[in-house]
Structure 1
């Protein structure tokens, strides 16, 4: 999802880091419990309102913003000594929006943001650790899905709270599969054979765009094969045999004529159009994708997770999160709102129609998820095998921004579709990643 991808602007980052140099490289110790919010602002007890700024990214259709505003209004009515102002923040130029605000001393008290945002800004000294918030939530019962909260740890502190999962899963055209006499594949071998049989006469078994959406295919197959960009010690391990097998599979499918080579110049929307027109039978997208093609909704199926050549399963996902900023004058009230938001934002799905999936186990028990076959299947079959781009390293870290944002994997994806030598393109990507990670 392009919203999780950063296009790092070196000059902006340098200016922003300089603007936060007083805190750069330092992690403040967690403040007191969120239960002590009133103590942090004596005037609150005298009827004065503490004002907080909440910047929320646009995570869904228009009804999402309306739902989020209604939730903020609900919090304000339940907490008369705090007034949260809601700002819907567009994704266009979002990185510059936040870095400029941090540098100018006008950052919000709290915000949602891209998957790695809290980690990068924490490295710049701009994010407030929330160890106490996590402790409070765990004391009241851990309602988070496994491997979501601990991913938010950086430099021995929790720097954000997870709220949604953005995952990539494969969809297929039921009608095209039926016409070709093909059943949905269960293994890599079956995937290659099915895609080949579905190709010909200007049609392709699979469409893969050349933008960041195309990198999700590469990530998905690498992680499906228990590969990954790094090892458990956070060292670049891109040339491991599992990754080589994944890239080779895509290269072989290109040679088979099963992947449209013109996809190297496609955007995600182009890929969707190709799939919708019946020019391709398989596509990898986010949950809720069939709703983008309502006229074909009954003809689009969700594939089961593939079993890799060594018996593993997996796919790529991102844990989107909510974070606090050190510039806040009212950190305890901000923590109070963060905790409330985490516990009460189920309506973002049931009314706001977010296409991602919640990190709260209790939310997933709602009929909105239980009674929808696609959402239910993704939650049951796909979420448990999701892995981050940091895998197998157990947490996310700032350099992932640059690895994704610099287009390392995007270039690799395009070159696969152009039929270039897999070893050569992997060697080039490996060197770039090592440079980013400052490895020799």
Structure 2
């Protein structure tokens, strides 16, 4: 009997001892997160992002993040397929309106708690004014800003010097300068019939005090200031200042024309001068153009990071998002991300700000006058994806470049715009 009691006691003690060793092992199993990141720069960007994730994983052994680089080709279908299959990532970066579109599909987790925490910590003040609010929809913060994509005007110093022209400061002066440099196989600009052309069409409207929408979100394509802006672009085409190959040209071809000195002006994002190689010294930044009434504005987007409802570890995701947001400076230096950081502390760092003159100008001069495609409507809303993706504004840019009758081109664009919003 004593022996049996001894064995029972020993067995119970052994079991307790084994469980005491097993429990900590189970508790220390790391939380695994899937982070999908779009390609925001050259190869160096992907390498730098991977390195940052590795740093986080080393410093936070209880949370292990797996990094996936997602190409822009078919990006929407990539995410939609994952959402529908129940295999969405825990978090991702994405297109400017991706979060709001997927939020309406009940796939995005609001970040109200994260924004509240960062507000209490004082960290939210480090973001550019208006950027956090821009990502608010239906009363909820649906994403956190990280990069600002701003459109700025570049010019070829050599072409203006050869023509003995001062820097244009207004749209009428831009038209005159474009006409003066045109000749001998060179043109004032290329107005491509793709995304870049659409950006020029929207940017010109904003710069003239116009907008695509009314303040309550109704279509307003036909307002007088929009028509004035597009008439100016049409006038440049009529002057012969717009390359006749524009309608069929791509963004890459427009860039190449500018880099080779075959066109004098281009409306592009930050970092173009950084990509120009030897031609970089011949590229300058125009001051923001003024409309005939003195209005100044440009087109911009707030790129962001979002969290998906399918995540099973929202607290771990918040930990990573806060860390990533504070420690992403290498993305702009080593990774050559071609945007302006949303965080003031990173944007004002000399190693970030002085990468090229375009970044400093985008930060100091252009961002303060930047407006979104949905302006003057506050925040973002899902139909902006369709407005930018449908193609009717690209067609308008093509028809302007082809010298088509402007009233008919705008009427057709307005019809399609209303159809897009009615879907």
Calculate the TM-score normalised by the size of structure 2.
0.91
Map of 1:398 onto structure 2: 382
Question: Which residue among 105, 125, 141 is the counterpart of 2:86?
Answer: 105
Map of 1:161 onto structure 2: 144
The within-5 A match list for 1:241-280 is 241-280=224-263
Please tell me whether residue 64 in structure 1 is matched to residue 64 in structure 2.
no
Map of 2:68 onto structure 1: 87
Please tell me whether residue 420 in structure 1 is matched to residue 401 in structure 2.
no
**Structure 1 residues 79, 263: closer, same or farther in 2, change over 3 A?**
same
Please tell me whether residue 285 in structure 1 is matched to residue 286 in structure 2.
no
Q: Please say if residues 188 and 241 of structure 2, whose CA atoms lie closer than 8 Å, have aligned partners that are also in contact.
A: yes
CA drift at 1:43 = 9.1
CA drift at 1:293 = 2.1
Question: Which residue among 42, 53, 64 is the counterpart of 2:34?
Answer: 53
**Structure 1 residues 417, 371: closer, same or farther in 2, change over 3 A?**
closer
Distance 2:417 2:381 in 1: 14
Runs of 4+ in 1 over 6 A off after TM superposition: 42-45
Please tell me whether residue 314 in structure 1 is matched to residue 294 in structure 2.
no
Distance 2:330 2:184 in 1: 46
Which region of structure 1 is more displaced relative to structure 2, 424-433 or 113-122? 424-433
Distance 1:53 1:302 in 2: 40
Secondary structure in 1 matching 2:147: strand
CA drift at 1:65 = 1.1
CA drift at 1:83 = 0.8
**Structure 1 residues 387, 295: closer, same or farther in 2, change over 3 A?**
same
- Show CA shifts across 1:221-265 (max 9, x none): 111112111011011111111101111000111001111121000
Calculate the TM-score normalised by the size of structure 1.
0.88
Please tell me whether residue 389 in structure 1 is matched to residue 376 in structure 2.
no
Gaps of 5+ in 1: 1-41
Map of 2:105 onto structure 1: 124
Map of 1:135 onto structure 2: 116
Q: Please say if residues 272 and 358 of structure 2, whose CA atoms lie closer than 8 Å, have aligned partners that are also in contact.
A: no
Please tell me whether residue 410 in structure 1 is matched to residue 394 in structure 2.
yes
The within-5 A match list for 1:315-330 is 315-330=298-313
Distance 2:301 2:91 in 1: 20
Secondary structure in 1 matching 2:67: strand
Distance 1:221 1:89 in 2: 32
Secondary structure in 1 matching 2:165: coil
Structure 1 or 2, whichever has the larger Rg, is 2
Distance 1:43 1:254 in 2: 72
Please tell me whether residue 437 in structure 1 is matched to residue 421 in structure 2.
yes
Q: Please say if residues 191 and 398 of structure 2, whose CA atoms lie closer than 8 Å, have aligned partners that are also in contact.
A: no
Q: Please say if residues 54 and 86 of structure 1, whose CA atoms lie closer than 8 Å, have aligned partners that are also in contact.
A: yes
Please tell me whether residue 214 in structure 1 is matched to residue 197 in structure 2.
yes
Which region of structure 1 is more displaced relative to structure 2, 108-117 or 62-71? 62-71
Q: Please say if residues 44 and 50 of structure 1, whose CA atoms lie closer than 8 Å, have aligned partners that are also in contact.
A: no
RMSD, aligned α-carbons: 1.6
Distance 1:265 1:371 in 2: 35
Please tell me whether residue 354 in structure 1 is matched to residue 366 in structure 2.
no
- Show CA shifts across 1:400-428 (max 9, x none): 11111110110110011111122221121
Distance 1:344 1:77 in 2: 14
Secondary structure in 1 matching 2:61: coil
- Show CA shifts across 1:185-204 (max 9, x none): 00111111111111123321
Q: Please say if residues 44 and 81 of structure 1, whose CA atoms lie closer than 8 Å, have aligned partners that are also in contact.
A: no
Q: Please say if residues 332 and 352 of structure 2, whose CA atoms lie closer than 8 Å, have aligned partners that are also in contact.
A: no
Please tell me whether residue 172 in structure 1 is matched to residue 155 in structure 2.
yes
Map of 2:134 onto structure 1: 151
Distance 1:427 1:370 in 2: 43
Q: Please say if residues 269 and 338 of structure 2, whose CA atoms lie closer than 8 Å, have aligned partners that are also in contact.
A: yes
CA drift at 1:292 = 2.5
Map of 1:299 onto structure 2: 282
Distance 1:335 1:301 in 2: 41
Secondary structure in 1 matching 2:131: coil
Please tell me whether residue 96 in structure 1 is matched to residue 77 in structure 2.
yes
User: How many residues are treated as equivalent by the alignment?
Assistant: 398
**Structure 1 residues 275, 49: closer, same or farther in 2, change over 3 A?**
same
Gaps of 5+ in 2: 1-22
